[in-house]
């Protein structure tokens, strides 16, 4: 095996060093892994966008199927649910002093006036590895998300909540992660508390603040859905035709099977008859039983009894005188 060519396929390893794992390998590994995770986040955003467009498409299709009176009532109900969802407490900007103090007080049970950034970091470095990873950061946003989303409410979509969590994490990483390794060290965390944005952040806009897609994007998405539906219909029709063809072939094979079985039975019967004729035994039936046939007399045998009677010797005369 050509190990050099094999290693060149991996961007996160140094192809010139085949024997040991060095600092350059680690840098390439971190860089490539970071790119992969960024691409993954971008794919999650795109997937969520398509999810929202699908929701709107289904809403419109549902309303089309209603009469005028029911459509108006349903549109009014949906609009009321939207307004109810928007009426939530103010959401603090993720990573701001207000947001962290809220976690310090409500989650950690500590006095907000005694907030200490270093202590906060150590409290939420749950695996004690000296850094805050993405999962540990996202856990800090739960209190803010609960202000907007409640799984018990019809108007609150939990898929939107997870998208909001992702947006919050990206916002903190953008402002805090200085070396762009998608990890927050204690030094980076403390430096972020010295920034102006930490104490006076911009107001955080939730997902419902502005649309995620344009009407043109929605129309393209709906056209794509129609094309996929047509393709699925064609495939379903082809499968149906193939199913009918297989059914007809099955019937033909079954008929052919019965013909073969009948032919085998007839051949077997003839063989048994031939064997019986050769052995002087009566022929056997389909189940092997002997079949006795009544014997027929030949024409010359029919007159045989009369001729036999004529050839018999005459009886001696009766009552003849006896001679001494």
pLDDT of amino acid 92: 95
Collect the ranges in the chain with pLDDT lower than 70. 1-19, 21, 25-26, 28-30, 280-324
Q: Could you give the CA distance from residue 285 to residue 292 in angstroms, rounded to a whole number? A: 10
143, containing H or E segment: helix 142-148
Q: What is the pLDDT of residue 168?
A: 96
- Bridge partners (DSSP) listed for residue 290: 284
pLDDT of the residue at 280? 63
pTM: 0.68
Cα separation, 253 vs 245, in Å, equals: 12
Task: Please name the helix (run of DSSP H) or strand (run of DSSP E) that holds residue 186, with its range, or none.
Answer: helix 186-192
């Amino acid at each position: 095996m050509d190990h050099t060519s094999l290693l060149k396929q991996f961007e996160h390893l140094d192809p010139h060093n085949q024997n040991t794992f060095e600092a350059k390998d680690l840098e390439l590994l971190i860089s490539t892994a970071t790119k992969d995770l960024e691409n993954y986040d971008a794919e999650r955003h795109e997937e969520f966008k398509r999810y929202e467009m699908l929701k709107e498409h289904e809403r419109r299709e549902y309303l089309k199927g209603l009469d005028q009176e029911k459509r108006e009532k349903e549109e009014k109900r949906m609009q009321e649910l939207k307004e109810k969802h928007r009426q939530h407490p103010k959401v603090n900007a993720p990573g701001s002093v207000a947001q962290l103090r809220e976690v310090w007080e409500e989650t950690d049970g500590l006095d907000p006036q005694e907030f200490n950034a270093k202590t906060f970091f150590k409290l939420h470095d749950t695996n004690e590895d000296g850094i805050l990873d993405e999962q540990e950061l996202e856990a800090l946003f739960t209190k803010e998300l609960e202000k907007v989303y409640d799984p018990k409410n019809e108007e609150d979509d939990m898929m939107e909540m997870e998208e909001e969590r992702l947006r919050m994490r990206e916002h903190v990483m953008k402002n805090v992660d200085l070396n762009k390794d998608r990890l927050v060290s204690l030094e980076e965390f403390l430096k972020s508390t010295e920034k102006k944005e930490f104490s006076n952040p911009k107001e955080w806009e939730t997902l419902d603040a502005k649309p995620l897609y344009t009407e043109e994007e929605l129309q393209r998405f709906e056209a794509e859905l129609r094309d996929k539906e047509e393709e699925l219909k064609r495939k379903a029709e082809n499968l149906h035709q193939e199913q009918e063809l297989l059914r007809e072939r099955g019937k033909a094979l079954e008929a052919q099977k019965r013909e073969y079985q009948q032919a085998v039975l007839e051949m077997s019967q003839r063989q048994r008859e031939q064997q019986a004729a050769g052995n002087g035994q009566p022929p056997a039936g389909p189940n092997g039983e002997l079949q006795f046939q009544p014997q027929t007399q030949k024409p010359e045998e029919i007159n045989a009894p009369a001729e036999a009677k004529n050839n018999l010797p005459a009886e001696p005369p009766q009552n003849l005188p006896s001679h001494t």
